[in-house]
Structure 1
């Protein structure tokens, strides 16, 4: 293959440098990566070979220019490997993982580059730098030191080997999980077994079965988390059991996709790496460069919240058991697969709300255009125009051009709504092109969800949870679109992990905001607005079932901490026993409330970027709840409020200490009281 026919080797000529996915073939990726690795290393050598003493202009500026090709190729590939991982793409990902780890280390651990950055850091007070440039020196120095740039050669050699092993193992974990999730999709022979599902849900299940070669049957695919949205509706208890058991068995069946040995090796290698870097555990290593600072701070927060959450969950369980005892001819002890179903009964009895019955008011297109986009327009003045002429990486992925209120072009937003066998579970945002004034690039971001695709001619109707997910992920997208920085190091959502969820959580507040809800919650056939009484009762349920929801989340956050608090001497042989002991330690070992993710399918921490960092959702929610209170106190959905939030938080990207940015926005540090009230955890 010649360079001329590889579209990844030169910047895309498409608007906003959107990768030319129509021209890119799988065989283009690896040659492009190898070329980009070589170019990046050559760029680093040109910096380190400069004979004169380090200056910002001869070190930091070229460092920020360096790696542009690699970033372009990587963004293009990893977007596809997450959202459309065919067997060919998975094979490339496996081959690439150790190569990428080795390359990252070659740059981060380069002794000469580290020396130049260190010299600048030591002279920082003498340099006349603007705030973003000063912070750039601080972050590069901190990140290189944290990565091990100050180690001796032998230690660096071992560190590089560990990083390559870990990259291979985390890729294996993800591959195993995707395969096992597909294998464990639950096949039902009759629609009677799925009584309680809406027509659109049955249509999606029939379509999924047909695509797998099971005409006339119904296939229920599994989401990433432990439960399933359908558990709230399925009247057949055995069907609920089958779905829950399939979900909880992923990666732990003793087959080729078993993740137990993979994850214990990941935990052990991370502990060894932490020790090599001078930390007692991986959790200590990770939190040292987050806003939390230490695992003890995380420990304190989780332990503060867990007892009340567990107590609330037990009270909810008693109420659910009472419903079972009163309504079932042959009562039984409530189990995890029953929780959502009987919760809906309690919700209906207490609030006269059936969330499953709300789906006709949540047509996906209306939620997107008249909810998600509408709220953004009201707050920030931005507008969205679909660009059918621009081709993304999959036919289901839609491209929208985004403009500011002034009419100036901002970037592109890509939405990939539907689930498929080649897409990993969960929902996420990632950049395809990162904004940088230095490089002259504008942002292109993508949101991925996993909504079941109905049959042809059937509308896509979302659950309330899926509406929440779309608003949440769009909050990340706004962060990626609005961050306006000079240096690519600070682009978009390149902020501390335990801060990154904050903007996305704030965006969820508009779901039930009167002006927004009335605009999008319209019956897909009649256009009828959601009844105002239903709306009020919906708002009244915002704290409903929070004992369960908080407990399952905290259990997962604690499980993540438990795996990553182990030291290098600890050997873990039995995953299930380790989990049980960890959950008992924090009092979240209620069998009826399983952890949101069990270890063998905990992709956030064993194949994603949240290792020892899953706590970040609740950590960020302290800021989120405090911010929601500010919006309510200051008039809510106004351009003035949106412009302030954009300018002082979303717009700074990673170019400023995030807590300093929060103080700039709020006028003080965040207070925890609004979170405790929201979660029903007392003061």
Structure 2
């Protein structure tokens, strides 16, 4: 990679503790660096595939694990920029790089000589004396090659490669279309009557968003969840709520160049064809083959059982909201742009507190401290901000994560504020993952460099950023993912950290959310922005009492999205995605007052790449696990019980994919769970226990 026309900052990370020098990388540096890194990886693969020595675990599997280091580094920097701070140059390159990368990995996955070596090892696996982790790594490589078409005839391989390349391009297009719709829409308000009901924190956030759009003196409703959701909650102007909701709900469905309808249709057709080529009945069967759930029937069994309870609860909630609307002297039905508004009023009436009363106690900086404190109490690690160290954007903060003995465990970067160059949502990723293998550059193993990205509303200068309770949960959730990466303690990169099955990966993140509302944490860190006083006990009690309020709505929002995802990926064909979505929801009996949490045209989890396709259910699957796992702490009487925390770190957070997830959970808890704890947490009662592979 050290050639004069290439920027070494992309591959030689010489910043503090091995951090990249982000500021030294220009957008135009990526294209030539990708070409050089791809060529280097090709050479690495050729050396492994055509090694004259007989295949061994070391000269084949370990060699594959460390091959392509430069490509990994260039890719990590590029995809971070494409998601968190993009522009037209990066987006143009993304449209080029996504299919190019697909072609590259398809060629590797179909390399006859390379697969022959892996297949030889796989067939002799019982005689190789492999450790459990090594066996898992070998299995992952062998199954990955099979799913990449290694066993197909040449014509089918060529077709599969073409499908994968096209799917990569479609995924990039879907995400870019959505970002364009989100970036281009705003509702600028100036008149006081249009701001009726909006609390100060929301006005401040909307004013900051307006300034970013060069509309000083106005207030911007944007399609950032951190603004549009509180606007729908507090605005007294029903017409403006409807306008904002329709814009939010129709992202990716506005006709013209950014409409995602055709992208979805082609994506689903190609995924179905890919599944058939690989011998599966449908794409869901392909994706679930190596998960805890294992089959679409198991997934739909859980979702349907929860759906029936959730809809019944949502109908009761809707009746209560309708009664409140009638008491106000209005005669309109409960519509999606009404639900959050009247639910907030009803919560205030029933529990005598509102989101606006709670929010001054949830300062971003204090909730970040709470995240770190929980990690310290559970796992003994300490986070210290590295002042003067630059991240990839001025808003990004960099932290050392150290064990109790002072050894450096990881670097953590937090990127918390919404901006027009960042895609919506929240996520965790890593610039590099933990492992212990020696590398060609002489290093032995790597330190995890993990980052969280959120989209909280940025406050006005001099004011603290204030979070909703949902925002605070999101921050804990993503840091839980981060801990899964940072506490990883494995030998091989492919099973490091979050390298686990899709329906297990949400366990560490969703479990971590529980500690936000542990009384000693919330009372210590929920302090008023103006007075510094802790949250009053009376308000804390009300927050705890209201935990399952609106549970029907929240569960219907999620479960409808998961059921539509499964329906898409088990269908033989989908000619009209909008009509298909509507038909599925009608069959389910979806209330007209609620919409899917992610309607198809902006369902990034399943269409902006392959990550959660036929896998959105996994949040609920993991929720069954996380509710049961936190119960283990509750049963001890101490939410920070040291023995239980050690079992959690040793069996869940540190092992990555090095052991089977069912075995990992059983080692921690002693048994597999039923959905009961999850349903009780939601306030939805209990259902029949899952058994066998459905557990």
In the superposition, the TM-score normalised over structure 2's length comes to 0.95
Other structure's SS at 1:200 match: helix
How does 1:570-585 map onto structure 2 within 5 Å?
570-573=573-576, 575-585=577-587
How many Å apart are 1:19 and its aligned residue?
1.6
For residues 16 and 572 of structure 1, what CA distance do their matches in structure 2 show? 52
> Is the contact made by 2:321 and 2:339 (CA closer than 8 Å) also made in structure 1?
yes
Conserved 8 A contact 1:226-1:597: no
Structure 1 residue aligned with 2:382:
383
Deviation at 1:227, TM superposition (A): 6.8
Structure 1 residues 638, 650: closer, same or farther in 2, change over 3 A?
A: same
Map residues 103-142 of structure 1 onto 2, 5 A cutoff.
Answer: 103-142=104-143
Q: What is the distance in 2 between the residues matched to 1:191 and 1:666?
A: 55
Deviation, structure 1 residue 330 = 3.0
Which secondary structure does the structure 2 equivalent of 1:511 belong to? Answer: helix
Partner of 1:75: 76
Deviations 1:560-587 (A, max 9, x none): 11111122xx2413x3221111112223
Contact 1:32 1:73 in 2 (8 A): yes
SS in 1 for 2:409: strand
Kept in 1, the 8 Å contact 2:23–2:392? The answer is yes
CA contact (8 A) 1:483 1:491 kept: yes
Instruction: Say whether the 8 Å CA contact 1:180–1:251 is kept in structure 2.
Output: yes
| DSSP-derived class of the 1:647 partner | helix
* 1:355 to partner: Cα distance: 2.0
Retained in 2: the 8 A contact 1:228–1:243?
no
Partner of 2:672 in structure 1? 669
The corresponding residue for 1:407 is 406
Judge conservation of contact 2:291–2:502 (CA < 8 Å) in 1: yes
- Give how far 1:391 is off: 1.2
2:658 is the counterpart of 1:655: yes
> 1:108 & 1:638 partners in 2: Cα distance?
46
Cα distance in 1 for partners of 2:372, 2:429 equals 18
Q: Distance in 1 between matches of 2:11 and 2:255?
A: 45
Asked if 1:148 corresponds to 2:153, the answer is no
CA contact (8 A) 2:633 2:641 kept: no
Aligned to 1:222, the other structure's residue is in SS state coil
* 1: CA distance, partners of 2:592 / 2:9: 50
Verify: 1:485 aligned to 2:490, yes or no. yes
Could you list the per-position Cα deviations for residues 326-362 of structure 1 after superposition, in whole angstroms to 9, with x for gaps in the alignment? 1x23332111111111111211122112122111101
- 8 Å CA contact 1:186, 1:246 repeated in 2: no
Aligned partner of residue 411 in structure 1, secondary structure: strand
State how far apart, in whole Å, the 2-side matches of 1:92 and 1:560 are: 29
Q: Which moved more, 1:638-647 or 1:21-30?
A: 638-647
Q: 1:629 aligns with which of 631, 635, 654?
A: 631
Corresponding residue for residue 292 of structure 1: 293
**Match for residue 541 of structure 1?**
546
Partner of 1:509: 514
Whole-angstrom CA distance in 1 between matches of 2:227 and 2:190? 23
Q: SS of the residue aligned with 1:417?
A: strand
Contact preservation (8 Å) 1:162, 1:273: yes
Matched, 1:13 2:14: yes
> Which secondary structure state, in structure 2, belongs to the residue aligned with residue 70 of structure 1?
helix
Q: Does the Cα contact within 8 Å between 2:9 and 2:24 map onto a contact in 1?
A: no
1:235-254 aligned at under 5 Å gives the runs 235-254=236-255
Report 1:277-676 matches (<5 A): 277-326=278-327, 328-369=328-369, 371-438=370-437, 439=439, 440-567=445-572, 570-573=573-576, 575-587=577-589, 589-608=590-609, 609-634=611-636, 635-676=638-679
Mapped contact 2:261–2:578 kept (Cα < 8 A): no
Q: Deviations over 1:17-40 (max 9, x none)?
A: 222101011111111111111111
In structure 1, stretches of 5+ residues that fail to align are none
Is contact 2:527-2:535 (8 Å) kept? yes
Question: In the TM superposition, what is the alpha-carbon distance from 1:640 to its structure 2 partner?
Answer: 3.1
CA spacing shift, 1:5–1:580, aligned 2, 3 Å: closer
Asked whether the 8 Å contact 1:190–1:218 carries over to 2, the reply is no
Please report how far the alpha carbon of residue 2 of structure 1 lies from its aligned counterpart in structure 2 after TM superposition. 4.5
CA distance in 2, matches of 1:426, 1:272: 30
Give, in angstroms, the shift of residue 275 of structure 1: 1.1
Q: Distance in 2 between matches of 1:620 and 1:536?
A: 28
CA deviation digits over 1:200-239, x for unaligned, max 9?
3212211211221222211122136997233221122122
Q: CA-to-partner distance for each residue in 1:509-565, whole Å, 9 max, x for gaps?
A: 011101111111001121111111211221111111111100010000011111111
CA distance in 2, matches of 1:217, 1:432: 39
In 2: Cα distance, 1:191 partner to 1:408 partner: 55
Pick which of 189-198 and 110-119 moved more.
Answer: 189-198
Is the 2:336–2:594 contact (alpha carbons within 8 Å) kept by the matching residues of 1?
A: yes
* In 2: Cα distance, 1:677 partner to 1:226 partner: 31
CA drift of 1:8 comes to 4.2
Runs (4 or more) in structure 1 with deviation over 4 Å come to 224-227
Alpha-carbon deviation of 1:9?
A: 5.2
Q: TM-score, normalised by structure 1?
A: 0.97
Give the whole-Å Cα distance in 1 for the aligned partners of 2:132 and 2:4.
Answer: 40
Gaps of 5+ in 2: 440-444, 687-695
Q: CA deviation at 1:293?
A: 0.8
Higher deviation after alignment, 371-380 or 548-557: 371-380
Q: In 2, Cα distance between the equivalents of 1:413 and 1:153?
A: 45
> CA offset at residue 639 of structure 1?
3.5
1:189 and 1:392 mapped to 2: Cα distance? 36
CA shift at 1:198, angstroms? 2.5
Cα distance change of structure 1 residues 227 and 582 upon mapping to structure 2, 3 Å threshold: farther
Contact 2:122/2:138 (8 A) holds in 1: yes
User: Which whole-Å deviations, capped at 9, do the CAs of 1:406-458 have from their partners, x for residues lacking one?
Assistant: 11101111000000011000000001111111142100111111011122122
How far off is 1:4 after superposition? 6.5
Moved more, 409-418 or 671-680: 671-680
| Structure 1 residue 67 displacement after superposition | 1.6
CA distance in 1, matches of 2:195, 2:484: 40
Question: 419-428 vs 632-641, which deviates more?
Answer: 632-641
